[in-house]
Amino acid sequence: MTGPSRLERGYRRVLACYPKAFRRDSEEEILAVLLAAAREGQRRAGLAESVDLIKGAVRMHLGMSRAPRPVRNAARLMCLGAVLTLADAGTVMLTLGGVRSAAVQDIDFAGGQWHIFVLAVIVPALASTPVVAGVWLWLAWAIGRGYARARFALKVFFSLLTAGWLIELAMGGGRGATPVTWPDLLATTALWLVGLVALLLVFSQAASPYYQQEPAHQ
């Protein structure tokens, strides 16, 4: 395969990340610009330019190509929230031994009640992790595209996030007798802070007019 054709194929693979309608209207023009700007003898798409193109594709899929900066930052935070949700589940699994040690020292967790706690609390929490991460990503998509109802959904989601955080704080406030470790509590607090900042950005004065327009469409 010749150099230019190999480079062109590489660029087309990256451009395939963009929405179909955008590729239909603009792919050839963008490809021509990329090929014209390529270094002499270049045979592959550079890492930096590939990352920039992929970031642009993500913005378009989220509908953020015309979103104000606070909305774009909020959507990025929500994507971070999805990652942190998965990381939080990993933290729970890694610190499960410490959680059990804290629980069995509590008179309320004597006998086989630890197993009941695992089945009633820990297993459902871990099982719900993909769903919660998916909600974060859906909110990032809907908020980025300018759907006004997504702001209400974000408020409801943040309320649930706050309730869970407060419950964990209460559980962690006992006298060494609670099934919560500091890594778990810190991970949950980080998630709550991400949700708080995202909420403030979405309801900021700069972002509000964006949700009074027609939602972005691909």
Are 184 and 92 in contact by the 8 Å Cβ rule? The answer is yes
- Terminal Cα-to-Cα distance of the chain (whole angstroms): 34
User: How many residues comprise the chain?
Assistant: 218
The one-letter amino acid at 181? T
Mean per-residue pLDDT for 155-178?
75
CA distances in angstroms from 206 to 8, 69, 155, listed in the order given = 40, 8, 18
Q: Which long-range contacts (CB under 8 A, 24 or more apart) does 5-9 make?
A: 6/43, 6/44, 7/35, 7/38, 7/42, 7/43, 7/44, 7/45, 8/35
What is the reported pLDDT for 18? 82
The per-residue pLDDT for range 98-150, each reduced to its tens digit, is 656 655 555 455 555 656 656 656 666 777 788 999 999 999 989 988 888 99
Tell me the whole-structure pTM to 2 decimals.
0.64
Are 122 and 96 in contact by the 8 Å Cβ rule? The answer is yes
Q: CA–CA separation, 136 vs 150, rounded Å?
A: 11
**pLDDT at residue 200 above 50?**
yes
What is the reported pLDDT for 41? 77
Higher pLDDT: 142 or 40? It is 142
**Shortest CA distance to 94 belongs to which of 170, 1, 187, 25?**
187
Q: CA–CA separation, 194 vs 115, rounded Å?
A: 32
- Structure tokens, 169: 């704080």
What is the reported pLDDT for 204? 93
CA distances in angstroms from 68 to 108, 128, 146, 156, listed in the order given = 51, 32, 10, 23
